[in-house]
Amino acid sequence: MTTSHYIAGRWVEGQGSDCISVNDPALGQPFAELMAASVGQVDQAVTAARGALHAWKSTSASERAAYLRGFAEQLGQRREALITLQMRNNGKPRHEAEIDLNDAIATFGYYAELAEQLPSKNRDVPLAAPGFSARTRLEPVGVVGLIVPWNFPLVTSAWKLAPALAAGCTVVLKPSEVTPLIEQAYGQIADALGLPAGVLNIINGKAETGAALSNHNGLDKLSFTGSNSVGSQVMRSASAQCRPVTLELGGKSAIVVFDDCDVGQAVEWIVAGITWNAGQMCSATSRLLVQDGIAEALLPRLQEALENLRVGNPLTEEVDMGPLTSQAQWLKVAGYFATAREEGLQCLVGGKALDRDGWFVSPTLYADVPKDSRLWTEEIFGPVLCARRFATEEQAIAETNDSRFGLVATVCSADLDRAERVADALEVGHVWINSVQAVFVETSWGGTKGSGIGRELGPWGLSAYQSVKHVTRCLG
């Protein structure tokens, strides 16, 4: 795959001062390098998107839908190469990499369908006052900057890119410097489809590149997924321009297990919620709230399940969990293991880095973790699960909501009325009941509190890239 930047319909080499090293986390070794884009190249990308905007937003909805379906088809044609790259650069097991690709394909297909429905979104508005008529017109918000993270490359970019293009926006996409290669497929597909030059631009780089894009006065909107610390910087940049933002940030989510739940099923849901993508998910259910009546049966079974997970290199072994994606993340998780030892937490399994090449850590479970522990309150972004017990439904709700984050939660109970009641009471953006974290393109994604601003996926994802205009006419 090319390691260049895609600006104004052309592949160009980076002119920045940073050299980006792309690593295989299972080996802890680089396998590719590229030069970052310069600040001037960021400006070129935004200028190209601005120049392409009028013609692109003037295309018919059916034309844009055809391009989106082309993206879906072309992703499918690149299946094996993209799956292998996800495994190699992210450390994802094959089954996870396959789901990522299928998710991206489904996203482009879904927004192709929504794009075709756009003409019906313009409607007359009845007025109480006589002598006037009014209609609503939905327009693209304009040129948008898309900044995506390293934990779900290809997927998160599809969640942003597909609705933005469907709405008639032009975009500048900045992938993470940790995983800059796989998004190059979108530029290759744009070439293959004959997407007009400037509609899609891709720039790679580190913090300097991201800051240049966030601060650029040629953007009409910015959509960011990543950490809260960087998200706050993005928000400050947007505030200087009074520019709208969508922020999908961190989480410290809970999984609540009531004592009427089947133990085996509960263990399956808990393990999936903390070890998928090696726990490197903003939605990881890293706080386990287990009711007193089931705790003694559940915790030993959970400990055994985590001990038996196969951890290794997904390119050479059949594994359940791969490595952490970067050395920086590996060091961060190791730091939390040290904090747990300092705090005297009870470790039932794991709590250490694995003695092998690459950035591997063991799936970890701590029991009876105090509410003031850093491991209970802070997002770790690794396969680290903290458990506490509760007695009543009211206590479970209160402890779940006692967080500065509000992204997701999972509720496990045989009493479906209770599960639905608890789901309604939780201060989060998405709740699963008796399920793994199945995410569907038709549903919304986003959180409350410190977990961000706005929603992605579903019709809400499309509306995030639309501006509402009303036209009022005097009939006299």
Report the distance separating Cα 147 and Cα 207, nearest Å.
Answer: 11
- Say whether 248 is catalytic: yes
Percentages helix, strand, coil for the chain (3-state, rounded to 5) are 40, 20, 35
For 294-300, the CB contacts below 8 A with 24+ separation are: 294/257, 294/258, 294/259, 294/261, 294/263, 294/266, 295/389, 297/263, 298/257, 298/263, 298/266, 298/267, 299/348, 299/365, 299/367, 299/387
DSSP per-residue codes, 163-202: HHHHHT-EEEEE--SSS-STTHHHHHHHHHHTPPTTSEEE
Catalytic residue among 183, 248, 379, 456: 248
Report the distance separating Cα 210 and Cα 226, nearest Å.
Answer: 12
> Hey, which residues does 432 pair with through a beta bridge?
410
Report the distance separating Cα 203 and Cα 180, nearest Å.
Answer: 9
Report the distance separating Cα 163 and Cα 167, nearest Å.
Answer: 6
- Say whether 342 is catalytic: no
Catalytic residue among 169, 282, 386, 412: 282
CB 43 within 8 A of CB 24: no
The residue among 388, 350, 384, 430 whose CA lies nearest residue 271 is 384
Q: Which residues contact 54 (CB under 8 A, 6 or more apart)?
A: none
Catalytically active residues are 248, 282
